[in-house]
Chains A and B, each alone.
Chain A
């Protein structure tokens, strides 16, 4: 399977703990995006990378959230001092700038975070 993969698929943590999620994009894709989706809502943009550069961050991304894409391949999203309001599905997507079909984002299955 050469799609976008995310790990873990589910994470349960206690309030105040730190969590880290990983996303592996489609191998030739140079853009990588993070979204958050709560029940009954559409995905909300958090941030995106072009290669290893983080080019845009949403105001939703508080200073407890940090994302990296150190070698322009996989990415991690860390949430420090988790709060119950962080409970959501965290989605990763990737796309290819300059490809035949630009702007098409391919989504991973998501990581469901539950903060107790």
Chain B
């Protein structure tokens, strides 16, 4: 079975500063990796996904993530955040061996301050 660890529960950051959200996964098989964002009182929205190919994945709203197989990591980055990026971010993993069911991390709350 797969599992996900998000290493930071809360990340405060100033507007226009860079941000990195850390995600590590454990799995004995090939995996697919995802980042979702949840704005206050809303559902989850897909930011980006890694299925195969290039290890650097670009998503919506200027976010990108890098898949590192040797370190079993999939960290999310944005070079310059906006107030509107205040949200909770979830890393998730799935695999064919588990019928592609998503397993989520506990989430990282990003608070952007002016």
Query: Are A and B bound to each other?
Result: no
